[in-house]
Amino acid sequence: MNKKEILEIRRQFTPENCAITRICGCYVDHEKEKKSELKKAFLSLPEEEAFKYFDIFRHTLSGTLGKNMINMEFPLEQELSGGTQEFLLKLRDSRLEDDLLVEEFYDKVIESYDYPENYYIILIHAVYDVPGKASDGEEMFDASDTVYEHLMCSICPVNLSKAGLSYNAHTNNIEDRIRDWVVDMPVKGFLFPAFTDRASNVHQVLYYSKKPEELSPDFISNVLGSEIPLSAGDQKTSFQAIVSDTLGTSCDYETIRNIHDNLNEMLEEAKEAPEPLELSRPDIKRLLERSGASEEQMSAFDREFEDVMGEQKTVLASNIASTRTFQIETPDVIVKVNPERSDLVETREIDGRRCLVIAIDDHLEVNGIEIHP
């Protein structure tokens, strides 16, 4: 799924566009016991309650594509009889009206989701009548020929509200506030099937994780059956390892600065594209060559890429680039530079020592105090 497709589904989580038919929920305590369950037609919920659920569902499709939201494919064995894809399809086709299937789903989540506190599993079924599009891109709501039937799961922590004082209107007093168990915004979730080219794609699932570095591998493996991807942080670490091992002891400052500048230039050129920019082995190889890596250095690239990446064939440019800062670090000094002005810093040998030289044009400040020439 790309940004536009995700936004199209997010827009359905409003009272005007709501396509949700049924909602099921299971409140699980810290001992992994089911404490309470919900099974209802979504439109039967009170209006204020429905609004709060809409907010949860929109959060399940939020964040950065490739970091918080990850497209995952089912391995071939999971598409065979008895695989996770077949189970999810049965669950979807039941419209969440088969209590045994819903309970089996809860059990899979509880067994695989490692969370030490209370949480709330929310599962919805929705049927979206996909409007056709005219040649000018305008939606034609009376020309729908595709139905996107799907499930979405949101897993929300349930925490005790903070202690404090509150105003009691009945007694007209400031009193100790009653602490409630509050359902927070989701930390995990998924959309199945994926919505690709404005239609169902049963070969993919869109996975959500509030924290990109905490992907919950057991949940991905056992509930979704998908291959566990490299997190955004792991992609960056792997890229750094490939660059470091390829360039070896002849790795110099200018080459690394060029890699930084070229990556940011590639991201700028691709910022309007609906799909995030992916870099494969040939792309990374061209990036290093373009940045100044020598032919001798590049002779080790293919081996280093294979050793570090293994089965993972691509990385997202947004995950490996440093778009917010250009950082230079020594054991005692850290220099942070505007990423667009990395040209202000260079390395020189002065009096036999390797030095960083920073150009100062018209303003220098130390600990908030302006320094004059």
SS3 326: strand
- Return per-residue pLDDT of the chain as tens, 373 residues: 999 999 999 999 999 999 999 999 999 999 999 999 999 999 999 999 999 999 999 999 999 998 999 999 999 899 989 999 999 999 999 999 999 999 999 999 999 999 999 999 999 999 999 988 766 666 665 656 799 999 999 999 999 988 888 898 989 999 888 888 999 999 999 999 999 999 999 999 999 999 999 999 999 999 999 888 888 999 999 999 999 999 988 888 899 999 999 999 999 998 888 888 999 999 999 999 999 988 888 988 988 898 988 777 889 999 999 888 888 888 888 988 888 888 888 889 999 998 889 888 778 888 888 888 7
Q: Are 189 and 285 found together in one domain?
A: no
Q: Are 162 and 25 found together in one domain?
A: yes
Q: Are 308 and 330 found together in one domain?
A: no
What pTM was computed for the model? 0.84
Q: Are 352 and 301 found together in one domain?
A: no
Q: Are 99 and 175 found together in one domain?
A: yes
Q: Are 96 and 27 found together in one domain?
A: yes
Q: Are 107 and 141 found together in one domain?
A: yes
Give the total number of structural domains in the chain: 3
Q: Are 79 and 92 found together in one domain?
A: yes
224, 256, 280 — which closes off a domain? 224
Q: Are 187 and 55 found together in one domain?
A: yes
Q: Are 76 and 153 found together in one domain?
A: yes
* Domain, as residue range, for 172: 3-224
DSSP H helices in the chain: 3-10, 47-60, 84-93, 99-112, 217-219, 232-247, 253-269, 281-290, 295-298, 301-309, 317-320
Please list the helix, strand and coil fractions of the chain in percent, rounded to the nearest 5, in that order: 35, 30, 35
Q: Are 108 and 166 found together in one domain?
A: yes
Q: Are 174 and 308 found together in one domain?
A: no
